[in-house]
Chain A
Amino acid sequence: MDLLGYGAFFLTTALIFSLVTLGLNLQWGLTGLFNVGLAGFVAIGAYTSALLTTPDDAARLGGFGLPILVGWLGAMVVGGIAAALTGMATLRLRSDYLAITTFGVAVVVQLVALNAQKLTGGPFGIGFIPRPFGSLAETPLLFNLSNLAVVSVVTLIAYLALEHLSRSPWGRVLKALREDERAAISLGKSARFYRVQAFAVGGAIMALAGALQAHFTGFIAPDNYLPILTFQVWVMLIVGGSGSNLGAVIGSILVWAIWAGSGTLTSILFPPEQQARAAALQIAAIGVMLCVILLIRPNGLLGDRPRRPWFGKRAKVATAKSISPS
């Protein structure tokens, strides 16, 4: 029974990660937009939903006590707006500028979460976030299973919607822009407009995932949204294969299993005073893993890319054009 409860808990966390990865897959896999600040968008969602749904608190703004669903919707709206603004500022420029700006967004969100005590509770975070099925907390197994059901349903809806989107005319435009921007523009599609839309929808999904996580644990703090989160999700997407929604889900579950498993292993193998160092080694190993996957299997397990000229027959031409010394 314990094992079943842990399994439910594990899957819930993994599915919340899947939701973030699905959002990233829309931005990067489908549209080719590089987001290294996704932890910031997840945090925006978590804090928005927490502010909207928690009971009134004299120490900070809000606590509006609204229903959980309103919190989730609010999270999506605010996350989407934040992403749209980021996109509008940078998407007319080189792709690297988007990367740097999203990085900055994560830094600033982290800063606000830590320092704007009136809004976010500062380093102590926000507690007493209402949990769906909170009344079942007496029986942990039932509570875990019902949470898993909620998260599964949300992830499934997001998955089906994204699958539908990527096959719709809208998704085809995004793919066209990713593969050959000039050709797509010459067909009269506004590259910037479509990209801002994709970036905003992706940001909204990430924010929803943040909100789900907040209501699942009941407590959030700035530490939950460090750059390591961004990094984990990127590894999940790359392992699963960017461009494939199914790959995003499978990659998330697989990488979270490796992550949680190696975490348990280090906690058994290392004495308590060495735990922090062991955790650092774990991150280093995953970082190396990301680089190795990029080198030897850039498509991941279920990737859909490669109609680009630099793979396949025209690879030599592309190599000659690039400025590598080799």
Chain B
Amino acid sequence: MSLQFVVDGLLTGSMIGLGAIGVTLTYSILRFSNFAHGDFMAWGTYATLAVVGAIGATFGKVAPIAPLSFGWPLIVALVVGMAFTALLALLLDRVLFSRLRSQGQAIIVVMASFGASMALRSLLEFTFTSRPTYFSRAIQIAMPVGFGIRITPDQIALLLLTAVLVLGVHLLMTRTQTGRSMQALSQNAALARIVGIDVASVVRVTWIIGGALACVAGVMIGILVQIRPFMGFDMLLPMFAAAILGGIGSIPGAVLGGLIIGLAEAGAVQLIGAEWRAAVSFIILMAVLFVRPIGLFGVRER
């Protein structure tokens, strides 16, 4: 068995982990599992793709940055896409989720997110058709780094980006007032309200972080795999499994859970075959629910 699966697993794990941060935050702060989160990913990716196209139309062809497959347009477009996805999440919360939340039935919100997910995905399919597209069709040469492992410059750059983002969100959650408010709200909503935490702004920050990271995860899939309307929906089960494995509400847990699932998937692809990949998340999920339902870093619910 070649060690290549480690690189593949870390990359898949990064995508799952970045998405799972959003899932775990929505779950712990807004208290519902958001089935539309995968579609935030897809919308962010298509938005980024559209901006790349617009930049290409304005400035002509831009040469990629030395070893990478993409140039500055993609980086600019990613920032725009992140902002767009965050706005999309805020908008959906405004028109749908917040109204249902105020009626107090958590599970109705879950169902609404399921309906919203169908609608969002089908709109993408309507606009862009279900044919896969790519950011770049250029083929990168993978460099050998020893132990039979090969890695492309794009993959290194994206792994670094993931590490920076995860560290950033972790610092935000633990070192800033906003982050501490978010933790307070997830641990005890009533008490957080009493000490004067601005719930509305915490909810906004939650959607912004979740939406922006979903967009990055989607663009990573777009660069390394392909762009399809179903790309986010297919990530939903791994993301949920990662969030639960890591422990609901824990950011390091979500990322670690994502990496574990990514590595397990990559290992399964080598040992059993790619067609059974999607079952890995389910098996891990069931194992966690039976053995330790609070996850690796979870806190027991009060």
A residues sitting closer than 8 Å to B (CB atoms) are: 32, 34, 36, 89-90, 93-97, 99-101, 103-105, 107-108, 111, 114-115, 227-228, 231, 234-235, 238, 276-277, 280-288, 290-291, 294-295, 298, 308, 310, 318-319, 321-326
Interface residue? B299 (CB, 8 A): no
* Beyond known contacts A310-B104, A322-B104: 6 more, CB 8 A cutoff: A100-B285, A114-B275, A283-B122, A287-B115, A287-B119, A291-B96
A282 to B126 Cα, complex, angstroms: 9
Chain B residues with CB under 8 Å of A114's CB are 275
Chain B residues with CB under 8 Å of A99's CB are 33, 35, 107, 110
Chain B residues with CB under 8 Å of A287's CB are 115-120, 122
Chain B residues 233-255 with CB under 8 Å of chain A are: 233, 236-237, 240-241, 244
A324 to B98 Cα, complex, angstroms: 6
A319 to B241 Cα, complex, angstroms: 31
Most chain A beta-carbon contacts within 10 A, residue among B99, B275, B282? B282
> Residue-by-residue, is B26-44 near A (CB-CB < 8 Å gives 1, otherwise 0)?
0101111101000000000
Taking the closest CB of chain A, its distance from the CB of B87, in whole angstroms, is 16
Contact (Cβ within 8 A) B115 A95? no
Q: How many residues of B contact A (CB 8 A)?
A: 61
* Contact status of A284 and B115, CB under 8 A, knowing A310-B103, A323-B31, A323-B199: no
Chain B residues 93-135 with CB under 8 Å of chain A are: 96, 98-108, 110-112, 114-120, 122-123, 125-126, 129-130
Taking the closest CB of chain B, its distance from the CB of A94, in whole angstroms, is 7
Q: Which residue of chain A has its CB nearest to the CB of B243?
A: A100
- Stretch of B54-62, B144-152, B156-164, B286-294 at the chain-chain interface: B286-294
Q: Which residue of chain B has its CB nearest to the CB of A289?
A: B115
Chain B residues with CB under 8 Å of A101's CB are 285-286, 289
Contact (Cβ within 8 A) A95 B35? no
Chain A residues with CB under 8 Å of B115's CB are 231, 234-235, 287-288, 290-291, 294
15 example contacts (A-B, Cβ-Cβ < 8 A) are as follows A36-B35, A104-B286, A105-B282, A107-B282, A234-B114, A276-B130, A281-B122, A284-B122, A287-B122, A294-B108, A310-B103, A323-B31, A324-B99, A324-B101, A324-B102
Chain A residues with CB under 8 Å of B35's CB are 36, 99, 103
Taking the closest CB of chain B, its distance from the CB of A102, in whole angstroms, is 11
Chain B residues with CB under 8 Å of A107's CB are 237, 278-279, 282
From A95, A96, A284, A322, B101 is in contact (CB under 8 Å) with: A322
* Contact status of A318 and B104, CB under 8 A, knowing A36-B114, A103-B236, A294-B112: yes
